[in-house]
Amino acid sequence: MLHWGPVANVLLNTKQQEAVLHTEGPLLILAGAGAGKTKTITERIVEIVKKGTDPRNILAVTFTNKAAKEMRERIVSRLEEERIIEKENPFHHTPVIKTFHSLGLMMLSEYGSRLGLQRHPTILDSSDSLSIIKQAIEQLGIDPKINDPSKIRSIISREKGDFVSQQDYKQKVATAQMDIISSVWRIYEEELKKQKAVDFDDLIVSTVHMLEDHADIRNHYQQRFMYVHVDEYQDTNAAQYAFVKLLINPLYNNVCAVGDTDQNIYSWRGANVRNILNFEKDFPGTHTVLLEENYRSTGNILALANKAIKKNTVRTDKNLFTSKGLGDKITIMPAWDEQGESEMIAEKCKALISDGVGGETIAVLYRANFQSRVLEEAFIRANVTYNLLGTKFFERKEVKDVMSYLRAAVNRACQPDLKRVFDTPKRGIGKVTVAKIFAGAPIPASAMVKIEKVYDFLDQIMEAVETEPLSHVMQMIIVDSGMEKEMLEGSGEDRERLENARELVSLTVRYDGVHAKEILTQFLEETSLQSDQDNDTKEKSGVRLMTVHASKGLEFDHVFVTGLEQDLFPHKNIGNRKRSKEEEEEERRLFYVAVTRARKNLYLTYAELRTIFGQKQINAPSEFLEDVPEDTGDYNDLYYKQGGGSVVYI
């Protein structure tokens, strides 16, 4: 039930008002998707100011600059409406609204001298950090061509986010690789100290250590920030969690955490859903408010969201509802294969736009990045403007790397392609050696052996081009070059990159039946033209194509959730490692996030046949489709595109 809230002209429901008026002591707001959490935080802060608190004594922390900016604008606008601050006065005081990193920077600027930092500490960007790590590798006499500096930097960053110090990491060293990382990390930290600098991760980690070690600084901020609000609490990692706890004055425990256990989808970044589940233990006497009224989606969409997420066990139970009515039924759209699925989606989007729907109100979501390739092709063929959030398929590094092998095999004079080939995977051929190759300068015998191996492999590619289908050639490049092995042994992001590289094999299956030699020039021309066409699709009115992860926090009138097949969504671990219970629950949370992006219409699509790494696979429909309540879904007939281009429904 809606009614006028405690502040003039603001409509709040009963639960929102309960959260706004509960200003003293710990408060946990469990806000379902589309339940108006930003509005609730805004009104709660306005209410605290109206009760006489100096705005400067109120802190709100969130994750992104965009979220902080939106919250700041809303709060300032409401304070102006209430005439608490004057719009014309540039010196008015407002609440402190920061990201975790910007808050850490503010504190280090004020008290970082205690850590040996300057008044305004130098912050190293990623390239600066990488440069120091390269120097450390050189100092240790380690081969940077085998021990990738960028990977070492990523591992150090992840460990810092988990609040692991170099000394902690050293204690758990179990492999030669970990020993190398520990040694590089030690030199890296020594260099940061020498330069009186911090990296991006240190903005949080160093601030936490400062608050832990200096009671007077901790007391200062606990007195200064009498009220602390933390948005997206389910996404906090170990370091951010420790940061929040140190900010809270234990005498008052005036902390408000806002989040949703069902939208924790970033465990691979270190986010720990247990942080929000343990909030009531961390802050005894917590008052918990469930925001379950959804203002975004229709009843049918919410029925699916509720049914799907209830199968998870690591969550706080809640049930989204809406006063919007049931709305249109959910449309389930099966297709024969991925080409048919993408064409079906593109044609449906074209029809919606012809009916007056704005392209920017349509989103096409997919679980894995490699799925974007066939979708981009379909939208280009259908002449439907699209915007891809993230890197376009043919602009991805791993895709360029594979294509470079093919082009270098055909044309040994192309230096950019040869540079990529020599560098991917790492095989101990450095930039100086590559420069000597192109300059025709003398090359040491040890390096020449490695170079000859590369040239021999390019010869093998050309021999395969003479006799094998193009998809076999692409598969050979990925496997025999060593790229597959390197990515399989890397991080989760590396394994995702391998999926993108493998999609090139699936792309070339269409040419099977014709020897690669006969089709090679056409293929290289088509892929180059595709990249050029991609650059013409940046109008803001276009349909949005993005991963489910990238869609979090966004909403659209019409949403397509694609590739709903078992082992694609929910996603199968590459390398066939069985998913853990935690990973299974995160996949279901991802589906919940995807479904709740939709305001009016939800389309669930899947292909009965999909080409993965050049092999056609028959797929079982996703287990998530079983969660569609019987009375909320409409099943379309199977969409099948015949070889000649005509379309029939079966």
List, for residues 248-288, the tens digit of each pLDDT value: 999 889 999 999 999 988 887 778 889 999 999 999 999 99
pLDDT band at 497 (very low <50, low <70, confident <90, very high): confident
SS3 387: strand
pLDDT of residue 561: 98
pLDDT in tens, 73-106: 999 889 888 888 776 665 678 899 999 988 998 9
Share of the chain above pLDDT 90, in %: 49
Q: Bridge partners of 28?
A: 257, 288
Residue 263: active-site member: yes
The whole-angstrom separation of Cα 584 and Cα 422 is 39
Q: Is the pLDDT of residue 8 over 80?
A: no
Cβ atoms 236, 230 nearer than 8 A: yes
The reported pLDDT for the residue numbered 311 is 95
Instruction: Give the model's pLDDT for residue 539.
Output: 46
Instruction: Encode pLDDT of 340-384 as tens digits.
Output: 999 999 999 999 999 999 999 999 999 998 899 999 999 999 999
348 is a catalytic site residue: no
For residue 530, name the pLDDT band (cuts at 50, 70, 90). low
Q: Which helix (H) or strand (E) holds 548?
A: helix 548-551
pLDDT digit string, tens, across residues 280-305? 999 999 999 999 999 999 999 999 99
Mean pLDDT of 403-410: 85
What is the per-residue pLDDT across 304-332, written as a single tens digit (0 to 9) for each?
Answer: 999 999 999 989 899 999 999 999 999 99
- What are the angstrom distances between the C-alpha of 255 and each of 104, 205, 215, 286, 554? 18, 21, 20, 9, 26
Would the pLDDT of 501 be above 50? yes
| pLDDT of res. 535 | 43
Identify whether the C-beta of residue 543 lies closer than 8 Å to the C-beta of residue 349.
yes
Identify the three-state secondary structure at position 1: coil
Confidence (pLDDT) at 47: 95
Q: What does 218-278 look like in DSSP terms, one character per residue?
A: HHHHHHH-SEEEESSGGG--HHHHHHHHHHS-TTT--EEEEE-GGG---GGGT--THHHHT
The mean predicted confidence, pLDDT, of the chain is: 87
Of 51-65, 260-274, 348-362, 471-485, minimum mean pLDDT range: 260-274
List 23, 38, 94, 286, catalytic entry: 38
Measure the CA–CA gap between 454 and 429, rounded to whole angstroms: 10
pLDDT at residue number 644: 39
- Respond yes or no: is residue 318 known to be catalytic: no
Q: How confident is the model at residue 57 (pLDDT cuts 50, 70, 90)?
A: very high
**What residues contact residue 563 under an 8 Å CB cut-off, 6+ apart?**
338, 341, 366, 367, 368, 371, 569, 605, 606, 607, 610
Active-site entry in 15, 37, 318, 329: 37
Which has more confidence, 520 or 337? 337
Is it the case that residue 630 has pLDDT exceeding 70? yes
Sign of the Cα pseudo-torsion (53, 55, 61, 62, in order): positive
Are 379 and 549 in contact by the 8 Å Cβ rule? The answer is no
* Token pair belonging to 547: 């991963």
Q: How distant is the alpha carbon of residue 595 from its chain centre? A: 17
Contact between residue 350 and residue 375 where contact means Cβ atoms under 8 Å apart: no
pLDDT of amino acid 524:
73
Q: What is the pTM of this model?
A: 0.80
Task: Quote the CA–CA distance of 506 and 276 in Å, as a whole number.
Answer: 42
Mean pLDDT computed over 409-435 = 82
Known active-site residue 626? no
Question: What is the distance between the alpha carbons of residues 113 and 121, in angstroms, rounded to a whole number?
Answer: 9
Q: Compute the average pLDDT of residues 623-648.
A: 76
Q: Which candidate in 589, 597, 610, 641 is catalytic? A: 597
> What is the pLDDT at residue 540?
59
Give the residue-averaged pLDDT of 39-50.
94
pLDDT at 531 over 80: no
| Sign of the dihedral through C-alpha 254, 260, 263, 264 | positive
- Per-residue pLDDT band at 641 (split at 50, 70, 90): low
- Determine contact, residues 554/597, Cβ cutoff 8 Å: yes
Q: Phi and psi (nearest 5°) for 258?
A: -120, 130
Q: What is the pLDDT of residue 84?
A: 83
Nearest 5°: the CA angle 602, 603, 607 is 155
CA 458 from chain centre, in angstroms, equals 36
Strand partners, 604: 332, 561
The string of pLDDT tens digits covering residues 589-619 is 999 999 999 999 999 999 999 988 778 889 8
Taking the C-alpha atoms of residue 62 and residue 69, their distance in angstroms, rounded to an integer, is 10
- pLDDT of residue 536 exceeding 50: no
